Structure 1
Amino acid sequence: MTHPRTAVARPVIAIAGLGIESSTFSPARTEAPAFHPQRGEDVLTRYPFLAPGTPLRDAASWRGALVGKALPGGTVTAAAFAELSAELLRRLGELPRLDGLWYDIHGAMTVEGVDDAEAVLLARIRETVGADVIVSTSMDLHGNVSRELAHMSDLITCYRTAPHEDHMETKERAARHLVDLLATGAPRPVKAWIPVPVLLAGEQTSTRIEPARSVYAAIDGVEATDGVTDAAIWVGYAWADEPRNRAAVVVTGPSEAAVARGAERLARGFWEARGAFAFVAPTGSLDECLDEALASSPDARPFFISDTGDNPTAGGAGDVTWGLERVLSRPEFKEPSGPTVIYASVPGPAAVAAAEKAGVGAIVTVTAGAEVDDRHAGPLTMTGVVHAVRHGDRDAGTEVVLRVGSVYVIITRLRKPYHYEHDFTGLALDPRGADVVVVKIGYLEPELFAMSAGWKMALTPGGVDQDLVRLGHHRIRRPMFPFDPHMPDPDLTARIIPPSNKPLGGADE
């Protein structure tokens, strides 16, 4: 029998977590500084809903431990994980007795020598703060939910949109559910967990289009059911190779029957839609995309092309030169009078330093790219005019723009994603007036999507290649769709996960 807990009028709640998407198919490695960790009171500044005077801020005594979020990238080094974890645990241990903990993570962090890193870290957190502390976990829908992670989390939820326009709403929901549970003294929720043997790229599961739009829309109906507190569907992270990588459903609430029914409904909906998932935009080779862009009418400009294989926001190294090399080789772009093209971007610290030293307006010859991922093309040497220099970007450090013919190449000291109009206008570039904008990205983020008159996804090589089957997964659980397209229907009955203060028992699935 589950016994009520004591209600807490103004609970003490800590916030902790590490977040990154780590591609195991990229040769890159992620070190501790990439997480830009925030500590203590500074952690609270991450969340607008915890600003002083807001209802949620006043409802609890919030204590920041350590929260670090890194740009997606390669596998996290063992040393980085050890360093950040040790500090996070030390800071938690120095806090007063806790009633709750909000575990703010992504869910797709791969660490050298560690499987299911977020569950490993949460187990260590549990050892530090004690079994009585209620944990609420918030995640990206491209995270992975193992049985162990679901067990150690009393509440668990994830984003419901891709692109993630509800990321802050999701975090607020996770924090609010935690406060509500502590304030009422209700028993720990029942959790129904169902692993779904499907592993698809985010670009094939965008909620902008069907079937993901309807699959995710079903969450509202489940969550509105009596006895359900929260419902969530994870697509999983396609570019890592661990046994936990797959889709999953978790429904939580006070009623075992209600959460089980809801979880089974959502899992069946995802499974039955598996064959209908398709790319969110038309696809083709890079040359096909460029041909179509150049043949498009003026009212279809700017024409955006996603250079998908080296997308740094999915875990790509960001320095693959394969795409840029092909753009610069096109005869249409050899002269300054050719179609205006913006290419974002390629890292090249030495190239940035040389262009910065020469100054705007100078003609320089520089070499950039392929310092991390040289499997598809080598470092690229370019001669052009320095168009702009900008300092102080959080990710890139220093950025320069080199005009090569009619192509404006953005070169960065460190890799950076380009998602916003100001990313370009701050470099004296006009993306709205360009003919073609090539961005290392998958689906276009909202500002770029709204700006684009035409758009196509180029299926290019890199650490986040969209052709998952050819990447070479060896450790995922099989059978798995689409790796085993004719696999039998899986067991999609709900697994009831015991409360976090009870033993999990049984074998992993």
Structure 2
Amino acid sequence: MRVKPRIAIAGFQHETNCFGTTMAGMAEFEMADSWPAMLHGDEVIAETRGMNLPVAGFAKAAEGAGMVLVPVQWCSAEPSAHVTDAAFETICGRLLDGLHAAGPLDGVFLDLHGAMVTETYADGEGEILRRVRALVGADLPIVVSLDLHANISAASVDLASYIAIFRTYPHLDMAETGARCVPVLQNLLAGKVLHKAFRQMEYLIPLHAQYTGATPGKQLYAALPHLEQGGVLADIALGFTAADFLDTRPSCVAYGPTAAAAVQAADRIAALFAELESQSEHPMLTPQQAAAIACQPRSGKLVVLADVQDNPGAGGTSDTTGLLAALAGAGAQGVLMGLFHDPQTAAAAHEAGRGGIFRAALGGRSGTSGDQPFEAEFQVVALGDGMCRYSGEMYGGGVATLGLTAALRLHGVEADITLVVTSIRNQCLDLAHFTHIGLQPEGFRTICVKSTAHFRADFEPVSSAVYPVAAPGVFPCDLGSFPYKNLHPDVKAAPAKA
């Protein structure tokens, strides 16, 4: 090993909703959305520096440790249906070409997601790792960061030297997870052997129930520091339920100084999962129940209604209107909603100009049963170019690209509802999604967000209560609504009842 080890770094991320409506092609990986556009070479470090991303955390810690970094590429596409074969082959080809051109290497860091499904490969990350391992050889350390919602295969664990996984949802520790790979890589380079153990669980946890500030996530992740005190590095993935293949399920990895220590830790985590199974189902409101709450008299902090089944961060279309229709029908007052993805309505608002009134059929184009466009008159409250600098903890330091954006208020009806419409899909997880266009959330009684849990980091401190709502969408949190075909026969799609 060189005095200053040369480490290649790269990222290729996608969270695949197998029941989604649109695929991720090259254009989706190349564009800027909630994360940066596709990055090459030195851009990988320069354009992510200071951001809460694994690649940024790894780069900062690795530079501090005296490693020489060889950045190759980094890209991410908004969650959607499958990654196209053309995009997968192109991006993998560039990754392998970059590694080959990097010259002598001492290690590789890969910033992956863990829930990528392509047209051909159900286990996208497993295929990426297979190709990288074939190129660099059996002995070169490959350390990997994965999302908390990863669906991990035994192949990925075998091929990677070490896997670190986010421990918070909302994902406040993405950069920290990348940084955790550095001391492990140093030990691997020094010849230390890590013994691996891997376990997969037998039930799925709905995404809105994976919030790590509540049961079961809170208890599961509280166990990890105790294991580390015993010399074992362990991590948990809660799984992404909208994928549909044999490895869709929660899992855990453990790395110990001995095989017995790793196995014991993995078994302990699996036993804890079994104990918590009956506590893994969280109730949701109907849109009508949510509207009734929005209409209740209140003073003090606002209430948050989470439209959890239309979360674009889980492959949702971000344009379903079930909750909006219920609120409007109930005559709800002081409501702020976002983000609705509707480029046509956003363009019409810009044409009408601020203060203008126009009629539109908003959203409702997902094809989801029970969903339809919301036809109404809207008054334009504010207009923007969609460049939104995040202010919250999760994405602070980054910039969301929303495209032409408009704040609209329902006109000519009893309900007082303001909503934000964008031209590019973006999960509403940061107060800046409203403040960047001049709206002040604290001035409203109720805020409705198209997000499952990420919004909690920024919205919970300003709210008195949070309610998940089961309006129609292409990301069902009621797991009985997914038409699964490829789950492992041992996996239950819903947890046991208490």
Q: TM-score, normalised by structure 1?
A: 0.87
Partner of 1:435: 445
Q: CA deviation at 1:246?
A: 0.7
Map of 1:43-122 to 2, 5 A cutoff? 43-45=44-46, 46-48=48-50, 56-122=63-129
Q: Of 388, 397, 418, which residue of structure 2 is paired with 1:408?
A: 418
1:355-400, CA deviations, whole angstroms, 9 ceiling, x for partnerless residues? 1122111111223323444543233333111111111434421211
- Indicate whether 1:448 and 2:454 are aligned: no
- Indicate whether 1:421 and 2:431 are aligned: yes
Map of 1:48-447 to 2, 5 A cutoff? 48=50, 56-182=63-189, 184-187=190-193, 189-226=194-231, 228=232, 230-279=233-282, 283-299=284-300, 301-330=301-330, 332-333=331-332, 339-393=333-387, 394-405=400-411, 406-443=416-453, 444-447=455-458
One-letter amino acid of the counterpart of residue 383, structure 1: E
Q: CA deviation at 1:94?
A: 1.3
- Indicate whether 1:468 and 2:491 are aligned: no
Q: Provide the C-alpha distance between the structure 1 equivalents of 2:73 and 2:115, rounded to a whole number of angstroms.
A: 18
The Cα RMSD (Å) is 2.1
Q: CA deviation at 1:47?
A: 4.7
Q: Provide the C-alpha distance between the structure 2 equivalents of 1:86 and 1:206, rounded to a whole number of angstroms.
A: 36
- Are residues 203 and 50 of structure 1, via their aligned partners in 2, closer, same or farther at CA, if it must alter by over 3 Å? closer
Contact preservation (8 Å) 1:197, 1:479: yes
Q: Provide the C-alpha distance between the structure 2 equivalents of 1:192 and 1:215, rounded to a whole number of angstroms.
A: 17
One-letter amino acid of the counterpart of residue 483, structure 2: G
Q: Secondary structure at the residue paired with 2:404? A: strand
Contact preservation (8 Å) 2:287, 2:322: no
436-445 vs 111-120, greater mean Cα deviation = 436-445
Q: CA deviation at 1:113?
A: 2.4
Q: Provide the C-alpha distance between the structure 2 equivalents of 1:16 and 1:245, rounded to a whole number of angstroms.
A: 25
Q: CA deviation at 1:484?
A: 7.8
* Aligned positions, number: 467
Q: Provide the C-alpha distance between the structure 2 equivalents of 1:52 and 1:256, rounded to a whole number of angstroms.
A: 30
One-letter amino acid of the counterpart of residue 22, structure 2: A
459-468 vs 205-214, greater mean Cα deviation = 205-214
Contact preservation (8 Å) 2:207, 2:477: no
Q: CA deviation at 1:110?
A: 1.5
Instruction: Point out the structure with max Rg over C-alpha.
Output: 1
- Are residues 96 and 148 of structure 1, via their aligned partners in 2, closer, same or farther at CA, if it must alter by over 3 Å? same
Q: Provide the C-alpha distance between the structure 2 equivalents of 1:410 and 1:454, rounded to a whole number of angstroms.
A: 22
Structure 2: segments with no counterpart, 5+ residues? 30-36, 51-55, 388-399
Q: Secondary structure at the residue paired with 2:375? A: strand
Partner of 2:393: none
Q: Provide the C-alpha distance between the structure 2 equivalents of 1:253 and 1:34, rounded to a whole number of angstroms.
A: 39
One-letter amino acid of the counterpart of residue 87, structure 1: R
Q: Provide the C-alpha distance between the structure 1 equivalents of 2:422 and 2:153, rounded to a whole number of angstroms.
A: 37
Q: CA deviation at 1:193?
A: 0.7
Contact preservation (8 Å) 1:51, 1:57: no
Q: CA deviation at 1:441?
A: 1.2
One-letter amino acid of the counterpart of residue 252, structure 2: V
Q: Provide the C-alpha distance between the structure 1 equivalents of 2:495 and 2:441, rounded to a whole number of angstroms.
A: 42
Contact preservation (8 Å) 1:11, 1:179: no
Map of 1:4-15 to 2, 5 A cutoff? 7-15=1-9
Q: Provide the C-alpha distance between the structure 2 equivalents of 1:438 and 1:313, rounded to a whole number of angstroms.
A: 15
Contact preservation (8 Å) 2:364, 2:373: yes
Percentage of identical aligned residues: 27
Q: Secondary structure at the residue paired with 1:232? A: strand
1:162-190, CA deviations, whole angstroms, 9 ceiling, x for partnerless residues? 222222111110233213321x2223x21
One-letter amino acid of the counterpart of residue 308, structure 1: V
Q: TM-score, normalised by structure 2?
A: 0.89
Contact preservation (8 Å) 2:85, 2:119: yes
